[in-house]
Amino acid sequence: MIELLRKRRSVRKFKEKSIESEKIEILKEAVLRAPTSRNIMPWEFIFVTDKDKLKKLSEAKQHGSAFVAGAPLAVVVCADTDRSDVWVEDCSIASIILQLTGLEHGLGSCWAQIRNRKHNESESAEEYIKNLLGIPEHFAVENIIALGYPDEEKEPVPYSALSLEKIHMQKF
């Protein structure tokens, strides 16, 4: 696991190559195996491969989602907020499991934050995506994870660059 974490970097440029259906099935299994508080599983995952929808998803917010258009797969992570008060945490855990599973299978990924972001001055990114994908009103959209074969190489962050001052022992 530490080797995956060492290699993990945000990838925003993807090759024009589809992800094999077997790998997509593994990604689906991975998110469904993600731990959730009290095993409530409030999350839902929308796997999008349609180029037109990917383009529209890339326009979900004013900044920081354009890379979704170039990905062969985007997974919209949302949750039924009536089922759990810790849906944000549950969705976040599933999202990183999705990213690490993708990396283990040769895929790069990047997280596009949707919750608490604007699409434009009058509509939130979440409302935009709900309308685009038919997500029920009582659901919340946490993020979009774009996945694909990387078309950029990024070196791992060296150990010496880690923020070791963020680690505390016994007390703050």
Distance between CA atoms of 94 and 130, rounded to whole angstroms?
20
For position 10, what pLDDT does the model report? 95
Sign of CA dihedral 110, 130, 117, 139: negative
pTM of the model: 0.95
For position 114, what pLDDT does the model report? 97
SS3 127: helix
In the predicted model, residues of the chain with pLDDT beneath 70 are none
For position 70, what pLDDT does the model report? 98
For position 1, what pLDDT does the model report? 87
For position 80, what pLDDT does the model report? 97
Q: Where are the domains positioned within the chain?
A: 11-153
Domain with residues 11-153, CATH architecture:
3-Layer(aba) Sandwich (3.40)
